[in-house]
Amino acid sequence: MADPQQAYDAFAQFRGELRGDPVMLSIEDPVAEEALAMIVGSGTAVRIRGGQRPRREYRRIEHANWVGSYAMRFFADGYDGLAGGPWYPDAADLDLPPEERGARWAAGIADEPEAVDEVLRIWADNGIVDADHYVFFHTDTLAESREDRAALSVLIETLGLQRLPLPDGAAEGEVWVRTDPRIEAEIESWA
């Protein structure tokens, strides 16, 4: 659609009228040969790219609000709008425990710019800056964001970032990391 917001509004209205669990929602762009399918209730998303090099990748939907976020990103930028991981080439990977899934996915990132991008994706979902620290999973418990938490642990090590002990009063699921010039430069480019 020419107006992603208009498409999203129609999608949100349609989704609000649905009843039943699980429900499969599919958004297709036949011209670009791309699609996004989400099985709400079972927590699975599939991004699909057809054409000469077909591709199908899977991801768990860990939070209910991700359904709307994925839809909006697909309406705005198609398959590429769903960049950022972890997406898996095999649906069987989704059956692994979230911690194993996230750690295995992050261990496959060898490129520093991609590792920085993924750290920023995780931070952008629910992070804050506190003086000289990045706070990931702000106010979360350890039971939340388990896949991203495992991926972040691997990425922190890959990038040589300094993880800090939790300060008094921090939520048990928070991860505190000292600021880093590589990440600061990327955050500045967002502004």
Tokens of 158: 């890959």
Query: How many other C-beta atoms lie within 10 A of the C-beta of residue 71?
Result: 21
Tokens of 156: 């922190």
What are the pLDDT digits (tens) for 43-75?
899 999 997 888 899 998 877 777 888 889 899
Tokens of 167: 């300060």
What are the pLDDT digits (tens) for 130-146?
888 999 999 999 999 89
pTM: predicted TM-score of the whole model, two decimal places:
0.74
> For the chain, what's the residue count?
191
Residue 157 banded pLDDT, cuts 50, 70, 90 = very high
**Where would I find the H helices in the chain?**
4-17, 65-77, 98-107, 112-126, 146-159, 181-190
